[in-house]
A and B are shown apart, each in its own frame.
Chain A
Amino acid sequence: MEDIVKIKGMKAGLILSFTRGAKFDEIRANIQNKLESGNSFFIRGTTAYVSKDTLPTDQIEVLRKMFHQHGMLFRTELPKIKVENPKTEPIKKLPPEEDPQQMIVINKTLRGGQEVRTKSSVLICGNVNPGAQVIAGGSIDVRGTCRGMVHAGAFGNTKAFIVADQLIPMQIRIADMIARSPDKMEKSETPERASIKNGHIVIEPITR
């Protein structure tokens, strides 16, 4: 069944749109559910946008309150696309000696709460578990199952890509684009590769 609440990840935050004709109660329940289920898209501090002409003001206010209660920001007007991505901030702390042409190798499974940050590309011989993060200036190759959060091209390199034997992450970020996992997770049998094509993150099967 189609999700009545569609979410599009943008530089500035999340843009929400609703299936035409969907009842407000359904929309509200749907969002509430997503907020409470710890949907990895709805991260504290993220801004959610609902265009003000999609819903009457009183309903907009109900949604605003819901997002605020979950520590998110809420806007009804899209910003001019110029916004600095707050996500680029911690990258200053990266070790300066590495560069995107190089590749570092991690020979273990990254478990929840563990993080790899590098300016270079990274090869992980192991899994990336939920709650683990990989942030790389270059590309990310997971020789295992990737279920965590992976951010390739974290400096803005839109040519960076992410490859995994099984690519079922919570979230994929490439440069300043975000894609979240589909709500129904299907295990892919073949390795897959995520990259930016025509302004979207696309995932395609590959052969190694």
Chain B
Amino acid sequence: MSVRIVITSGKGGVGKTTTTASIGVGLAQRGYKVVAMDIDTGLRNLDLLLGLENRIMYDLVDVTRDNDPIPYKKALVRHRKYETLFLLPTSQVQNKDAIKPDKVEKLCNEMDKEFDYILLDSPAGIEEGFKTAIKPAQRAIIVTTPEITAVRDADKVIGELGREGIDDIKLIVTRLRPKMIEEGDMFDMRDINDLLAIECIGQIPEDEAVIKATNRGEPVITMEDSMAGKAYKNVIGRLFGEQIPFYKPPKDSFFTRLKKLFGML
């Protein structure tokens, strides 16, 4: 039996694929057998983030088509380093109708025995691709940035998921910029939690390491010294119910505080 988790957001470009890649690796590091499915047909890039683009033979369209479909095992791409992590890529061709929600659900049922986790990387929006991605899912991870538009969209998506009967929904907030939040230009975690009222399992800072990781095709969770990498590591722990406090960036060091106290700064 597999646990099927959809990673979704509403608003685009908030870090769903980045999150899917890192969670995929994180679960594989713990020894689980994981398949990460890219449902963002036409705009695929999970393969890039996992550094597997050159190994793709078949894709989701080939596997789910009506005539003469390819067995899914042929389409799976094994990760070079984490051998229990697989990618099921989607098609590069923009044809949203090519993939039917029912077919993807059936495919997940087929893969059920083989994998511990099925991760579904959803496209932005709440249209077909989104519906295809959530149909097979039992759980959801909502990704948002601390911007009002992203948070509002996340709220809508939570409503949609509820309608589909998915009520195990966790939150990951990405691209946190402590400075902007401090200055009141962005929502802080309290505002977000207040509004969305679902359990938060990740606070990922804005971090250049994410871009480096993307370019190298190595999910940022593997960059263990980076802030974002650590934050994603903690996400994995919290997925398993471990009590991990959220990292608070230090504001002032003890000495600067002392100096301020004595009027030296």
Contacts and interface: CB of A to CB of B under 8 A. Distances in A.
A, B in one complex:
yes
Interface of A: 108-114, 127, 129-131, 145, 147
B186 to A, nearest CB: 15
B195 A114 contact: no
A108 B162 contact: yes
B116 interface: no
B148 to A, nearest CB: 9
Contact of A112 (B152, B194, B197): B152
A130 B197 CA distance: 13
B197 A113 contact: no
B27 interface: no
A145 B159 CA distance: 17
B162 A112 contact: no
Contacts of B194: 145
A130 B195 CA distance: 9
A112 B159 CA distance: 7
22 contacts: A108-B162, A109-B197, A110-B159, A111-B155, A111-B156, A111-B158, A111-B159, A111-B162, A112-B153, A112-B155, A112-B159, A113-B156, A113-B159, A127-B195, A129-B155, A129-B195, A130-B152, A130-B195, A131-B152, A131-B155, A145-B194, A147-B195
With a 10 A CB-CB cut-off, give which of B155, B162, B194, B195 has the most chain A CB atoms: B155
Interface of B: 152-153, 155-156, 158-160, 162, 194-195, 197
A127 B197 contact: yes
With a 10 A CB-CB cut-off, give which of A111, A127, A130, A147 has the most chain B CB atoms: A111
B144 to A, nearest CB: 12
Nearest to A127: B197
Contacts of A129: 155, 195
Nearest to B161: A111
Nearest to B152: A112
A138 B129 CA distance: 40
B159 to A, nearest CB: 3
With a 10 A CB-CB cut-off, give which of A109, A110, A130 has the most chain B CB atoms: A109
Contacts of B153: 112
A130 B159 CA distance: 12
A130 B162 contact: no
Contacts of B158: 111
With a 10 A CB-CB cut-off, give which of B153, B156, B158 has the most chain A CB atoms: B156
Given A112-B153, A127-B197, 17 more contacts: A108-B162, A109-B197, A111-B155, A111-B156, A111-B158, A111-B162, A112-B155, A112-B159, A113-B159, A113-B160, A114-B159, A127-B195, A129-B195, A130-B152, A130-B155, A145-B194, A147-B195
